[in-house]
Chains A and B, each alone.
Chain A
Amino acid sequence: MVKRQGLRLSRKLKNALITTAFILFTGLSFLALLSIVGNVLYHAMQPLITHVETFQIESNELIFALKELVLSLWLVLLALVISTPLALLTALLITEYRDCCFTSLIRLFVDVLAGMPGILAGLAVYGLALSLFQMPTSKIVLILVLFLFLMPKLSKGFAQVFNEIPFHYREAAYAIGANKKQVIFHILLPMTVRALSASVLLGAARTLGASAPLLLFGVGVHYLAVDIYALAVRGSDGQAADYALVLLLLLGVVFSIAAWFDRDVME
């Protein structure tokens, strides 16, 4: 009797500990997020509040930031256009053609590349572009860098989406006479299209927010995340915060759309 009560007590204690840890960590990460948003907002708004007469300049800056944003978006969009189909093929190869002999090699390759720091993607293409074309900041080179950064991450995300579909759905399709291609096109893709779209958006958001891949190329690349870095290093905190605000707003929008895509469809 005493022993059982002791057991129950220890289980209660364990539950309480887990709950506390959960609340604590969620709270902490939420606080961190809030402080980032707050900080950016504060820096962006401060000049507005303290001296209203400089508002003109500030709004000019905002327009500048928006321009940079459009340019960055354009780059990321082009990189997405190239990498999405390739990543889709790679993910299908990894997940649906496991018995093919190269598959495990490709999976390893994708895993390694997906974990590669962005700066390395930049470095690789930078060196190549410098020695081959002598024009390291041409749009094509930048897109290539983003592609190299994005493609493996997308492939991995897509592969995860496919792996989450239980095998018995594929079997159900085979059992009514589907061939492999039909399983992919008629069953797998329709079942995953939302999750895949969400992964594309998350990939885009991650690329937009990453300064590392294009850092080497300098401010001339008109890439928002790089600008923020450069401005902050130069000591123009307010301006950096303006840019960061624009980026943050955009990422908020993208993440919301992604969450909407990925919502539970089986309501």
Chain B
Amino acid sequence: MGEALAAIDLSASFGTHKVLHHVSLQMPANCVTAIIGPPGSGKSTFIRCLNRLHETVPRATMSGTVLLGDEDVYRMDAITARQKIGMVFAQPNPFPTMSIFENVAMGIQLRDGKRQTYLSEEVERALVIANLWSEVKDRLKESSSKLSAGQQQRLCIARALALQPAVLLMDEPASVLDPFSTLRIEELIDELKDRYTIVIVTHNLQQAARVADRTAFFLAGEMIEQGTTTELFTTPNDKRTEDYVTGRFG
């Protein structure tokens, strides 16, 4: 089951360059929350703060609170936080020297050690949830680089899901995929929200409208407006949101 995620007064910088200013956002459990906004508005930085990936960048700093359920993400161990809050990136990036199986198993092996009896069950479970099992079940030992881009992206989703996270963060997960693969990812997101809380960054407003229950609009490192997707797209409160969703800029 998914857990609610909440960002409270989040600010983030790269060195002296402040890119996120006091952002607060509720991401309810088992909902899809979309984050939209022009390039450079801090969308990626925001979600990278949620799973503590931001701090792996040299000289990057942040302040504020992130709550997973009622636990403070920044009070737990960073590794634990990342296991509970999975992430998928824009560029499908399965580990190219590993097989399909090894890719999905990696997270569990890093956490629990190399040989676990439940490994193949868990790998199968994750691949089934990611809608990839039927396509790869006979070629689990093959290199992951033999898959198509769309399959590779679903493999990355399976890799994240193998750890049974509560939240799945997706940073423009379909931006380099063809329309058909994009559709499959969107269908998958729709299925996944029963089990996980999902936060998706997207440039594609139609995509946000299609998959998201709630949407937040970012501009220049600030969260301008948030609400249900229908509200935000049809009756935005802020002029800047209106301009953006009607395609007048960005």
A residues lining the B interface (CB < 8 Å): 98-99, 166, 168-169, 171-179, 182, 186-187, 190-191, 265-266
Report whether B159 and A176 are in contact in the complex, using a CB–CB cutoff of 8 Å: yes
B227 within 8 A of A: no
Compute the total of residue contacts between A and B using a CB distance below 8 Å: 68
Q: Report if A177-B95 is in contact (Cβ < 8 Å); known contacts: A171-B89, A186-B110, A266-B143.
A: no
A178 to B96, CA, bound (A): 17
Interface string of B98-113 (1 = CB under 8 A from A): 1000000011011100
Q: Quick check: B83 and A177 within 8 Å, CB to CB? A: yes
Could you list 16 further interchain pairs (A-B, Cβ under 8 angstroms) beyond the known A171-B53, A177-B79?
Answer: A99-B58, A166-B93, A168-B89, A171-B93, A172-B89, A173-B106, A176-B160, A177-B110, A178-B110, A182-B110, A186-B106, A187-B95, A191-B95, A191-B97, A265-B97, A266-B143
- Complex: A190 Cα to B111 Cα, angstroms: 18
Q: Which residues of chain A are near B239, meaning CB under 8 Å? A: none
Q: Flag whether B20 is at the interface (Cβ < 8 A).
A: no
Q: B interface vs A, CB < 8 Å?
A: 51, 53, 56, 58-59, 79-80, 82-83, 86-87, 89, 91, 93-98, 106-107, 109-111, 143, 145, 156, 159-160, 162-163
CA distance A165 to B95 in the complex (A): 11
Q: What chain B residues lie within 8 Å of A171 (beta carbons)?
A: 53, 56, 89, 93
Per the bound structure, the CA–CA distance linking A203 and B95 in Å amounts to: 28
Q: List A contacts of B95 (CB < 8 A).
A: 169, 172-173, 187, 191
* Complex contact A176–B58 (CB within 8 A): no
Known: A168-B89, A169-B93, A171-B89. A176 touches B107 (CB 8 A): yes
CB pairs A–B below 8 angstroms (22 shown): A99-B58, A166-B93, A168-B91, A169-B93, A171-B56, A172-B94, A172-B156, A173-B106, A174-B53, A174-B56, A175-B82, A176-B82, A176-B110, A176-B163, A177-B82, A177-B107, A177-B110, A179-B79, A186-B110, A266-B96, A266-B143, A266-B145
**Interface SS of chain A:** helix
A36 to B91, CA, bound (A): 47
Residue of B nearest to A265 (CB): B97
Inter-chain contact A176/B106, CB cutoff 8 Å: yes
List, in ascending order, chain A residues with CB within 8 A of B58's CB.
98-99
Chain A residues with CB under 8 A of B86:
175-176
